[in-house]
């Protein structure tokens, strides 16, 4: 918890509607559109790429909106998530149980974050438009470990350090 990281490799994007479809596929016993085992999901709100760009703005969206789906995806093998904001107690418990990690990145810095995206392609649910699942190849994508596999929570620690102590 609190470690700054630079992510390089393959990251998949998924937001609310894609999460719902992933979970529906798992509930039916169908294979999801990519193998979740050991993967990283980025909760990203992309914008269209301008000519000559790989992707438009690639900023994070609020992670808490995915909390209802996250424990099931972690149980299916997901190992890392990237977004913004804190997570629910249920998600933090599942992160510890499945030895995963949640990383936060900077909201409002989508244009800067897009520079780390070297390749982007829609791999599932194109009918969802901006919520389609993308396969991104990233290099030196900046994040910070916000919730670690051992129960550490950077958001909780930050609040605790600034709370006024009683008498």
148 domain residue, yes or no: yes
Residue range of the domain that includes 123: 4-162
Rounded to an integer, the average pLDDT of 92-105 is 98
167 domain residue, yes or no: no
pLDDT at res. 155:
86
CA-CA distance, 128 to 100, in Å (whole number)?
A: 27
For strands 58-60 and 101-104, give the pairing.
unpaired
Confidence of residue 163 (pLDDT cuts 50, 70, 90): low
82 domain residue, yes or no: yes
Which has the higher per-residue pLDDT, 167 or 118?
118
* pLDDT above 90 for 82: yes
pLDDT at res. 100:
98
Give per-residue pLDDT as tens, 26-79.
Answer: 999 999 999 999 999 999 977 888 899 999 999 999 999 999 999 999 999 999
3-state SS, the chain, equals: CCCEEEEEEEEEECCHHHHHHHHHHHHHCCCCCCCCCCCEEECEEECCCCCCCCCCCEEECEHHHHCCCHHHHHHCCCCEEEEECCCCHHHHHHHHHCCCEEEECCCCCHHHHHCCEEEEEEEECHHHHHHCEEEEEEEEEEEEEEECCCCCEHHHHHHHHHCCCCC
* Number of structural domains in the chain: 1
Give per-residue pLDDT as tens, 112-162.
Answer: 999 999 999 999 999 999 899 999 999 999 999 999 999 999 988 776 666
* pLDDT above 90 for 107: no
CATH number for the domain harbouring residue 100:
3.20.130.10
CA-CA distance, 15 to 7, in Å (whole number)?
A: 19
């Amino acid at each position: 918890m609190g470690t700054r990281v630079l992510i390089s490799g393959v990251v998949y994007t998924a937001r609310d509607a894609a999460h719902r479809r992933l979970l529906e596929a798992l509930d039916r016993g169908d294979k999801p559109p990519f193998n979740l085992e050991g993967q990283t999901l980025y909760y990203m709100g992309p914008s269209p790429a301008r000519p000559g760009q790989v992707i438009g703005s690639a900023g994070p969206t609020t992670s808490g909106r995915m909390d209802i789906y996250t424990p099931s995806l972690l149980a299916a093998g997901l190992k890392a998530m990237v977004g913004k904001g804190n997570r629910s107690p249920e998600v933090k418990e599942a992160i510890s149980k499945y030895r995963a990690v949640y990383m936060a990145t900077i909201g409002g810095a989508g244009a800067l974050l897009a520079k780390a995206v070297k390749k982007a392609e829609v791999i599932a649910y194109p009918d969802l438009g901006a919520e389609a699942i993308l396969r991104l190849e990233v290099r030196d994508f900046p994040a910070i470990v916000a919730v670690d596999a051992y129960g550490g929570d950077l958001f909780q620690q930050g609040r605790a350090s600034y709370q006024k102590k009683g008498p």
